[in-house]
């Protein structure tokens, strides 16, 4: 089903949603958040980078990014108190890559306890394949408004050594030696293992879909 396009296409980027908090990218020191901000800018949306709890709570939509190592990223979340805040958010939240993994119960990376939003554990790929998985692979079994206009087996860019197992909350599957959950959803929480901000036009479509939720 094609969702109504609510995005401004003006030359100048504008904060979407009018009154209120707009789009906030959680800036807690983990990862390449500039790329995500730029991707939204290409869609005509100004995203605010913030680690301010009030600003994050007031946002219309929240992006929870993350690149790097799980236990140190989790530590940074704890230091800023964001580990308590993120699971209580009521607006749509999109975790990307390590952000998605931290929203799960636990990760084998650094034996990390996660935020427990998604009821699934994060495991390491076996040595039967090259680790990290780096490059373009396909997503299928798509089951969410997040994938409106995205065809089955669409290519996405992935870089990761750990994966969330297939589970009831899986809304997309990818195959890298084993089939795993490359996207998750529970209520207002979404998570994607791939990088929509680096996945060409299809990735941009997914970011657009998130804005339209």
The answer to the question of residue 61 lying near other proteins (CB under 8 A) is no
Distance from C-alpha of 135 to C-alpha of 67, rounded to nearest angstrom: 15
Distance from C-alpha of 87 to C-alpha of 116, rounded to nearest angstrom: 8
In eight-state DSSP terms, residue 207 is: H
Clarify whether 3 is annotated catalytic. Answer: no
Interacting residue with other proteins among 167, 177, 188, 212 (CB under 8 A):
177
Restricting to residues 28-47, name those near other proteins by CB under 8 A: 32, 34-35, 38-39, 41-42
The answer to the question of residue 151 lying near other proteins (CB under 8 A) is no
Clarify whether 195 is annotated catalytic. Answer: yes
Contact partners, residue 2, CB within 8 Å, separation at least 6: 148, 149
Tell me the two tokens of residue 205.
């479509």
Burial class (CB in 10 A: 0-12, 13-18, 19+), 58: middle
Choosing from 79, 97, 143, 166, which is the catalytic residue? 97
**Residues contributing to the site for other proteins (CB under 8 A):** 32, 34-35, 38-39, 41-42, 67-69, 127-138, 140, 153, 155, 157-161, 175-177, 195, 197-201, 203-204
Please identify every residue annotated as catalytic.
97, 195, 197
């Amino acid at each position: 089903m094609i969702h109504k396009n609510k995005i401004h296409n003006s030359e100048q980027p504008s904060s979407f949603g009018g009154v209120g908090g707009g789009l906030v990218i959680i800036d807690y020191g983990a990862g390449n958040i500039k790329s995500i901000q730029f991707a939204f800018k290409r869609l005509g949306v100004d995203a605010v980078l913030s680690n301010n709890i009030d600003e994050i709570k007031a946002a219309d939509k929240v992006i929870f990014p993350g690149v790097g190592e799980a236990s140190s990223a989790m530590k940074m979340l704890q230091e800023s108190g964001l580990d308590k805040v993120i699971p209580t958010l009521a607006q749509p939240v999109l975790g990307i890559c390590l952000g998605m993994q931290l929203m799960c119960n636990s990760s084998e990376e650094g034996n990390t306890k996660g935020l427990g939003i998604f009821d699934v554990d994060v495991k390491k790929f076996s040595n039967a394949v090259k680790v990290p998985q780096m490059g373009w692979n396909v997503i299928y079994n798509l089951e969410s408004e997040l994938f409106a206009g995205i065809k089955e087996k669409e290519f996405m860019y992935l870089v990761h050594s750990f994966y969330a197992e297939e589970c009831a909350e899986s809304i997309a599957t990818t195959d890298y030696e084993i089939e795993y959950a490359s996207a998750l959803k529970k209520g207002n929480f979404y998570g994607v293992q791939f990088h929509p901000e680096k996945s060409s036009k299809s990735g941009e479509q997914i970011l657009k879909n998130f804005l339209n939720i």
